[in-house]
Chain A
Amino acid sequence: MKDIWKILKSVKLAVFLLIILAIASTLGTIIPQGEEAIWFAMKRPELFKILHFLGLFDLYHTLWFRAILGLLALNLIVCSVDRLPDTWKRIKEVKEPKKEEFRIKVKEDFSEVRKKIEVHLRCRLLKEQKDKVCFFIEKGRFSCFGVYIVHFSIILILLGGIIGSIFGFEGYMSILEGEKKDTVRLKNKKELKLDFQVRCDKFLVEFYENGMPKEYVSFLTFIKGGKEFRKTLKVNHPVRFDGITFYQASYGIAVGDSVLIKVLDKTTKKEKKVKISLGEEASVFGIRIKLLDIREDFGGAGPAVFLKLKKDGEKRKLILFRERKKAERILPSEMLNSPIFDPSFFNYSFSVESLETKYYTGLQVSKNPGVPVVWTGFFFISFGLILTFFSSHRRIWIYVRKKEDGTEIAISGMSNRKDKGFLENIKENISRICITQ
């Protein structure tokens, strides 16, 4: 038991765990994580099995990775518990150092000097004798606690992580414009039912002149208990409703399941429009048209429909763009000249009259009660680091002694850092307020 305690309180273990965590984390950035691991499984099925067994495809959530984090937390706690009493004692007891760093001779009278130092240096009287006094200045007592605050903050951050993973969730929902939804697809592929509904009234993408996206905006309505609450959601400006936070994560274009096709008789200039649903057939000018597929995008040229045409025993397939002109701009002409893209069949010409598209908005949905705990940890770790590295615990003893030809001032000091500069400062201060010899 004693041995275990000894190992747990050692800084050697802490450094070892830090290095192990660094190495393990590195592995996780080299080996594909989560869904990206699929290609690995296809390429190297044997190796995949071994790595999968070790949990290396979901490394940061494996038991062993968490165990290392847990051990580090335990190590931090044991170190703190082991050392805190010593630190406390060191701060409580004031031991005068034997060595005096400086001695200054002053012309002025003893009581005069004494008063000056007490007033100007704002120090506390420690000891008083007839012709000598000792003053004491202490600064930055909390500096020694900085380390404990930093380590406590790390525990707090880990705790926040645990709270988040137990009581919170992270998921995704995509909602078509005009659609209402109340289910969230969680990371573990399960579905979560919310006790309210979310409707996407409209989705908007704004672009800069050079084509880069400027803003993604979802206009949402939350419906609970018959009441409607409207909210506008942008990237970097999440929306909170009923303790659950919504983030603008992605968007996309969805097509409907029917299309209006225009057929032109080139000789008579007569045209007919026909609405066809996916998989259905229609007949115009004696041509049988079957709608095989509707794609949101074909080759970057926007939406396109796949048709199958049939007349007088002749059959062919046709891919029709919603915007032929856009396709001509984007796709090579050799490709568009191939028969499958040719919108003419017998003496008829085909085009898409209307193909409705709608945006859908992709929302990241999360509830994380651990966040305030993590934020508190962040605050205290910053504060603790500043205390640890940029403040120091300093003690200064100033002895004022009566001498025949004036007064002698002696200074000794201590610091938890190896800086002696502060003693020079004190010396300078004294020579400014007193007339030195």
Chain B
Amino acid sequence: MYNTVILSYTTFGYFISFLFYLLMSVMKKEVFGKIASFSSILFFLLHTSGIILRWIESYKLGIGHAPLSNLYESLIFFSWAIMLLYIILELKTKTKIFGVFVTPLSFLIMAYASFSPSVTSKIQPLIPALKSNWLIAHVITCFMGYAAFGISMALSIVYLLNEKSRFSIFLEELNYQIVVIGFMMLTLGIITGSVWAHYAWGSYWSWDPKETWSLITWLVYAALIHSRMVRRWRGRKIAILSIIGFSCVLFTYLGVNFLLSGLHSYAKS
């Protein structure tokens, strides 16, 4: 499988990007930042080609489906979504410092997908429950949301480290905008999941642990948005809420599969 080879190169690529972002922030030299950005974009493109190749290879195996169906594929897509949003953010804000916290996140996710013995990288056919057009809409919206929340967490860490600098107001505002994008995506993710569940299992909401945890995550971010919009909370409190929110995301995504039982049992395969 060429796609898994390409994707494991990408893993190292993101680590290299991380090293250069780190050098940039420690040595305060712009040239490292440029190398880091270049490497991020280069390996993001490699990552994209890996996903496309995996899609093509699945058709060659005669079980063609979008590469969004098991834990391995979801991790790869999660990391891809984080890098996509990050690169857009870097180009728009012309600020590279978040890279120090975002690239290790993508690297760790890719490394977990590529090297953990419990995650199989095999292209598997779809079981009947997954054969639905809602699968693609559900996975894309959810993971775009997760990715935005991941970046918000990175921004929150940068914020907490630079609380007193002039930079912090800009960070605060940016962080909130990213949370809002994540919230929109998570809402769409829950909606598409719910509609899908209605067609697949006959119930749009059954308090399955995965569903419940996605709702918990949604409630935490809803609380964050209300606190900021109406109660005028700013800064540290919002950053901490965002970090709590992202830990809920991680629990929804991975914790539920490994610690609780339910319908979304891809972790077992």
Contacts and interface: CB of A to CB of B under 8 A. Distances in A.
A245 B202 contact: yes
Given A11-B230, A12-B231, A371-B198, A236 B203 contact: no
A389 B222 CA distance: 13
Nearest to B227: A15
Contacts of B213: 25, 29
B142 to A, nearest CB: 15
Interface of A: 11-12, 14-15, 18-19, 21-22, 25-26, 28-29, 33, 60, 161, 170, 208, 210, 212-216, 234-238, 245, 247-249, 364-366, 371, 374-375, 378, 381-382, 385-386, 389-390, 418
Interface residues of B, number: 42
Nearest to A216: B128
Given A235-B128, A364-B202, A378 B223 contact: no
Nearest to B184: A385
A343 to B, nearest CB: 37
Given A247-B202, A364-B202, A389 B230 contact: no
A371 B204 CA distance: 8
Interface of B: 63, 124-125, 127-129, 131-132, 173, 180-181, 183-184, 187-188, 191, 194-195, 198-205, 207, 209, 212-213, 215-216, 219-220, 222-223, 226-227, 230-231, 256, 260
B226 A14 contact: yes
Contacts of B183: 385, 389
B195 A375 contact: yes
A418 B172 CA distance: 13
B128 A215 contact: yes
A25 B212 CA distance: 6
B212 A29 contact: yes
B188 A382 contact: yes
A234 B200 CA distance: 9
Contacts of B231: 11-12, 15
Contacts of A216: 128
A256 B63 CA distance: 37
Contacts of B223: 15, 18-19, 22
A215 B129 CA distance: 9
Contacts of B209: 29
25 contacts: A18-B219, A18-B222, A18-B226, A19-B219, A25-B213, A25-B216, A29-B260, A212-B124, A213-B127, A213-B128, A214-B128, A215-B131, A236-B132, A245-B202, A247-B200, A249-B201, A364-B201, A366-B203, A374-B204, A375-B195, A378-B191, A378-B194, A385-B183, A389-B181, A389-B183
Contact of B191 (A12, A247, A381): A381
Nearest to A365: B202
A22 B220 CA distance: 7
A329 to B, nearest CB: 24
B172 to A, nearest CB: 12
A240 B203 CA distance: 14
A403 B131 CA distance: 70
B173 to A, nearest CB: 8
B48 to A, nearest CB: 26
Q: What 8 A-B pairs are tightest by C-beta distance, nearest first?
A: A235-B128, A247-B202, A364-B202, A22-B219, A11-B230, A18-B223, A29-B209, A236-B132
B202 A366 contact: yes
A14 B260 CA distance: 29
Given A15-B231, A29-B209, A214-B128, A238 B216 contact: no
A238 B187 contact: no
Contacts of A238: 199, 202
B22 to A, nearest CB: 33
Nearest to B225: A389
A236 B209 CA distance: 21
B103 to A, nearest CB: 27
